Structure 1
Amino acid sequence: MATKQYSVTGMTCEHCAASIREEVSEVPGVSEIMVDVAAKSVTVHGTDLDDGRLRAAIVEAGFGVAAPIAA
């Protein structure tokens, strides 16, 4: 199982986290999404995760992806 973790800008509340979960859950291969509002991070577990599609899903939810975090 692969893990991708991102630092996200603009996330301030649980509603933000829910929006990110909704968009990221649609990316093929995703099996688990953990959003930490306080740390402004998103961690995704799954198989054959596509970095570009995950980043695009976060942006589609209305947030910026500042940088990947080494997992």
Structure 2
Amino acid sequence: MNTNTYAVTGMSCGHCEVAIRSEVEQIAGVTGIEVSAADGRLAVTAEGPIDDAAVLAAVDEAGYEAVRT
């Protein structure tokens, strides 16, 4: 299993977490997602390599900005 973490700016509530989760879960191979508005953090787990560009694009699609940490 591989896990990548990202710092996400702009999240402030549970709705923000749901919006990001719904976009990221569409990425092929993703097996787990942890989103915390309180911490401004996103953790993505997959069985194989994680496509950072796809994760960042999904977060952008949800209306937020992220950087890999």
Number of residue pairs aligned between Structure 1 and Structure 2: 68
Instruction: Report if aligned partners of 1:23, 1:58 keep a CA contact under 8 Å in 2.
Output: yes
Give distance in 1, aligned partners of 2:43 and 2:2. 11
Query: TM-score with structure 1 length normalisation?
Result: 0.91
Give distance in 1, aligned partners of 2:2 and 2:61. 22
Instruction: Report if aligned partners of 1:34, 1:44 keep a CA contact under 8 Å in 2.
Output: yes
Instruction: Report if aligned partners of 1:28, 1:49 keep a CA contact under 8 Å in 2.
Output: no
Q: Name the structure 1 match of 2:26.
A: 26
Query: TM-score with structure 2 length normalisation?
Result: 0.94
Q: Name the structure 2 match of 1:59.
A: 60
Give distance in 2, aligned partners of 1:36 and 1:61. 15
Shift of residue 41, structure 1, vs aligned partner = 0.4
**Structure 1 portions without partners, runs of 5+:** none
Q: CA RMSD in A?
A: 0.7
Q: Name the structure 2 match of 1:50.
A: 51
Give distance in 2, aligned partners of 1:16 and 1:37. 7
Give distance in 1, aligned partners of 2:4 and 2:55. 9
Q: Name the structure 2 match of 1:6.
A: 6
